[in-house]
Amino acid sequence: MRVDIITIFPDYLSPLELSLVGRARDRGIIDVHLHDLRQWASDVHRTVDDAPYGGGPGMVMRPEPWWAALTEVSESGAADGRRPRIIVPTPVGRPFTQGYAGGLAAEPWLVFCCGRYEGIDARVIEAWADDEISLGDYVLAGGEVATLVMVEAVTRLLPGVVGNAESVADDSFANGLLEPPVYTRPPVWHDREVPAVLRSGDHGAIIRWRREVALRRTAQRRPDLLAGTDPAGTDPAGRVAQ
C-alpha cells in the first residue's frame, strides 16, 4: 500500500518510523511519502492561510497550495493508472471505526490531507476529498495526530504485519465487543487472584467466561456498540455512504 501525507508539519509524522508501522515500511508492506504543503505555496512568504470570508476567528487554509499539492501527488501515481483514496481528518467528519479502517486496508493508495487552523477551504474538500473522517468529539490542533492514528490502525490490518492473524480478529471492535481483561503470572499479586477459570485448563469454560465478561463490559461501558448501529455509516467493506 502507498500512503501520501500532506501537512505543514512533516516532522509531526515521525512516529511512523517507529514500531509496527516502521517495521512494515522497512519490509516494503507500506510505502509512506510525507509532503510539506509549503512546497506548493507560491508567494515569497510561502503562506498557506488567509482570513475567513464572512469573518470570525482564526484562519483558513488557502485553496491554491492544496489544489497544486493534490494535483501533483495524484498525478505521481497516474502512470500506473491508479487513483488515490483521499481522506481529510476533520472534527466535522464521519466517525473513524474499525470497519472503516478495514475498508482502507483494502485500498492500494491513500492520501491524507492534514488541515490546521480552522480548516481547509471548502472547495478543495468538495473537489478532492473522498471521505471526511473524525476520530472523536474533541478538538485537536490539526489533522496530523488523527492521521497517525488512522495509518497505524490500517497498517496493522495489512497481511503479514501482525504475526498472529487471530490477534487481529479478536481485537476489541473487530467482533463488535470490548475485549475481556487479560492476566499473566504470577497467579496471586498483591492479594489479587487471577480468575480460577483461566487457570482451569477447561478451554470451553474459558471461552464462555471471556464471552460473558466481554458482553457485560460492553453493556456497561459501550451500550452503543450493542445497539448495532455503525456510526460511520460504512458498509462491510468500510466504504462510506455519501
Name the strands in the sheet holding 109-113, side by side, starting at the edge strand that comes first in the sequence.
31-36, 2-7, 109-113, 85-95, 131-134
> Would you tell me how many other CB atoms lie within 10 Å of the CB of residue 231?
14
Beta carbon of residue 117, minimum distance to ligand JBK (angstroms, whole number): 10
> What is the spatial distance between Cα 168 and Cα 98, in angstroms, rounded to a whole number?
11
Active site residue 156: yes
Beta carbon of residue 208, minimum distance to ligand JBK (angstroms, whole number): 37
Select which of 2, 25, 46, 156 is catalytic.
156
Nearest Cα residue to 178 out of 204, 211, 203: 211
Active site residue 118: yes
Would you call 158 exposed, middle or buried from its count of C-beta atoms within 10 A (0-12, 13-18, 19+)? middle
Active site residue 107: no
Beta carbon of residue 120, minimum distance to ligand JBK (angstroms, whole number): 10
Residue with smaller CB distance to ligand JBK, 107 or 144 = 144
> What is the spatial distance between Cα 236 and Cα 234, in angstroms, rounded to a whole number?
6
127 to 146: interface string for ligand JBK, x by CB under 6 A: -------xxx-xxx-xx--x
Residues between 37 and 96 with contacts to ligand JBK, criterion CB under 6 A: 89-91
Residue with smaller CB distance to ligand JBK, 4 or 210 = 4
The HSE-up count of residue 134 (CA atoms within 13 Å, CB side) is 15
Which spans of this chain sit near ligand JBK (rule: CB under 6 A)?
89-91, 134-136, 138-140, 142-143, 146
Question: Which residues participate in catalysis according to the annotation?
Answer: 91, 118, 156, 171
